[in-house]
Amino acid sequence: MTRFAWRQFRLQALIAFGILAAVVVFFTVTHPQLVDLAKLPQPDALKNRYATYEIVARLLLVVPALIGIFWGAPLLARELETGTFRLAWTQSVTRRRWLAVKLALVGGASVVVTGVLSWAVTWWSTPVDHVTLDRFSALVFSERGIVPVGYAAFAFAVGAALGLLLRRTLPAMAATLAVFVGARLAFTQWVRPHLMVPVHETLPLTSAAFNSAGITSPNGPLIVTVDNGIRPGAWILSDSGNAVDSAGKVVYGLGKKLASEDITRQNFREAIARLGLYVQVAYQPASRYWTFQWVETGIFMGLALVLTIFSLWWVRRRLS
């Protein structure tokens, strides 16, 4: 059974590993250039060069989806659609073994390909990450570390389960794409920010602590936009808020106070700093980066395991 499953899958596997080898060679050749550019005092050259190559790193955003669509969904749906699964079941092969071998072989290849690619992208992008300190941004976080492995396992499991349920290849592929993209977007927007309780800190409004500040009305509060560089590498969850005093109370009527002074665009920031105001910021420290990586990976791997168990149950109890 294992040999037969490999013969069915080997062409796709050889193509995938060939592309992976080409990407790794590209990263190996271009990485020394990024390292040299990172040593320069001005990071613009490094960022410009990386922007040229970044399309390759973006592969990790689509690889898990492609695995789910082209490896997961057709894996079982095609056999159910054409009826070839009956041949395997008449060769002293149980349904669960038939399914388990396929899931283990192709699912394992999915994890290996994505894991190697993720490692390569993380290693290759290290010089840029040390300069930009932007690993918590939505795109970068999804391209680095170990979370792409969780995404790939989840996408593959979704595709396989939907193939069992729908029994048609094209509908299963379309449904896999919709479910995977929806799950990823929902997790990024609504789940990830709440995986850990953020750090809340009250920071003084010095000239280096905020990007901009504005007053909607003379009697209203001062609305401050915080400089993301105040905590290098941190994930700023609330980058704007009302100015408060030392006791943490929102200060109103600053428009009248500032209007009474000779405030110009040039000395506005200094005038704000002289008022001794503060702003409350919520953020995830840079030190929690790998904790977020492991937790999110564990969640998606757990979902993949649940879907795999469901598929094994379905093929034994419900599929006929």
Tens of pLDDT along 150-184? 999 999 999 999 999 999 999 999 999 999 999 99
Query: Tens of pLDDT along 187-238?
Result: 999 999 999 999 988 888 775 566 666 676 777 787 888 776 778 899 989 8
- With a cut of 70, say whether residue 2 has pLDDT above it: no
Same domain? 246 vs 113: no
- Looking at beta carbons, which pairs linking 84-90 to residues 24 or more positions away fall under 8 Å? 88/1, 88/4
- Provide the pLDDT confidence category of residue 311 given band limits of 50, 70 and 90: very high
- With a cut of 80, say whether residue 264 has pLDDT above it: no
Of the candidates 177, 172, 180, 175, the one whose C-alpha atom is nearest the C-alpha of residue 148 is: 180
Better pLDDT: 194 or 240: 194
Mean pLDDT score across all residues of the chain: 87
Q: Compute the distance between CA of residue 147 and CA of residue 115 in angstroms, rounded to an integer.
A: 9
Same domain? 185 vs 228: no
Q: What is the pLDDT of residue 230?
A: 73
Q: What is the pLDDT of residue 63?
A: 96
CA distances from 181 to 3, 152, 154, 158, 186 (A): 33, 12, 11, 11, 8
Same domain? 81 vs 26: yes
Question: How many degrees, rounded to 5, is the angle at CA 228 between CA 57 and CA 232?
Answer: 70
Same domain? 276 vs 292: no
Q: What is the pLDDT of residue 251?
A: 82
- State what percent of residues in the chain have pLDDT above 70: 85
* Least confident stretch, 42-56, 103-117, 262-276: 262-276
Same domain? 174 vs 302: yes
- With a cut of 90, say whether residue 35 has pLDDT above it: yes
Q: What is the pLDDT of residue 207?
A: 57
For 135, the 3-state DSSP assignment is: coil
Same domain? 268 vs 297: no
Better pLDDT: 248 or 68: 68
- Provide the pLDDT confidence category of residue 246 given band limits of 50, 70 and 90: confident
Same domain? 113 vs 236: no
- Provide the pLDDT confidence category of residue 95 given band limits of 50, 70 and 90: confident
Q: What is the pLDDT of residue 87?
A: 63
Q: What is the pLDDT of residue 41?
A: 84
- With a cut of 80, say whether residue 66 has pLDDT above it: yes
- Provide the pLDDT confidence category of residue 240 given band limits of 50, 70 and 90: confident
- State what percent of residues in the chain have pLDDT above 90: 52
Task: Tell me the residue range of the domain where 249 lies.
Answer: 199-287
Q: What is the pLDDT of residue 16?
A: 94
Q: Are 281 and 205 in contact (CB under 8 A)?
A: no
What's the average model confidence in pLDDT over 2-24? 85
Number of domains in the chain: 2
Same domain? 175 vs 232: no
Same domain? 81 vs 177: yes
Same domain? 109 vs 251: no
Q: Compute the distance between CA of residue 146 and CA of residue 43 in angstroms, rounded to an integer.
A: 27
Same domain? 101 vs 181: yes
Same domain? 34 vs 133: yes
